[in-house]
Amino acid sequence: MRARRSGAPAYLVLGLIALAAAGCRNSTRDVVAEVEQAADSADQLMIGLRQVMTHEGIRQAYLEADSAFIYETSGRVELKEIRVTFFTVTGVETSVLTAREGAYNLRSGQMEARRECLVVMTSGGRLTSSVLRYDQTKNEVSTDQPFVYDAADRHIEGEGFVSDPAFTSIRTLRPRGTAGRFVLPGQ
């Protein structure tokens, strides 16, 4: 009789552990369910998007995203975990942009990267900002948000800029920082 009593509590304990485990599974974040919910309002969902962006037949950029939610009526694509590689007109890689999310307008060719934007140039420079925009028709990268640019010989901060994707021609608002031994005005 003792054997039956000791066995019953063991089954009860195992049953409680199973219920607790099931409850933990329900309380953890279900990434697949989140994607499915977001995809409900999109016309299409693409996993592992790869797209070459061209202008007049010349490759300007290569876009990669973990997922893309396509809204056909507006021509907008919401992107998650973005990587964009930029090229010169001769096909040489100039820089790579990464960000947590963004949007791409299929009609205008304009892209916006948001959250933890980082551009790494082939020259070794690094640029960070909360928002970066790419206008395909103008082949320009810009932001109206604060940014930081670091390279071996310079550190520049500003309140927005417009540049080519190679970052060889940059126009910025309120720049501050150092460039080698040269200190920018207003320091």
pLDDT at site 97: 93
Which residues partner with 65 through β-bridges?
49, 82
CATH class of the structural domain 42-183: mainly beta
| pLDDT at site 126 | 93
User: Range with the lowest mean pLDDT among 22-31, 60-69, 84-93, 165-174?
Assistant: 22-31
For tokens 């320091």, name the residue: 187
Model pLDDT for residues 4-56, shown as the tens digit of each residue = 444 444 333 333 333 344 444 444 556 566 556 555 678 889 899 998 888 77
What's the mean pLDDT in 100-122?
91
- Which sign, positive or negative, has the C-alpha torsion 22, 28, 31, 35? positive
How confident is the model over 149-166, as a mean pLDDT? 86
Residue of 186 and 58 predicted with greater confidence = 58
106-110, 146-150, 154-158, 183-187: least confidently modelled range:
183-187
With 0-12 / 13-18 / 19 or more C-beta atoms within 10 angstroms meaning exposed / middle / buried, residue 1 is: exposed
Spatial separation of the C-alpha atoms in residues 101 and 130, rounded to whole Å: 11
Enter the pTM of the model.
Answer: 0.69
Distance in angstroms (rounded) separating the CA atoms of residues 129 and 134: 13
Alpha-carbon distance of 51 to 60, in angstroms, equals: 11
The domain segmentation of the chain, as residue ranges, is: 1-40, 42-183
Give the pair of three-digit tokens for residue 158.
Answer: 């500003």
In angstroms, the CA 60 to CA 54 distance is 5
Name the residue with higher pLDDT: 110 or 4.
Answer: 110
Among all chains, which residue has been given the structure tokens 């950029």? 61
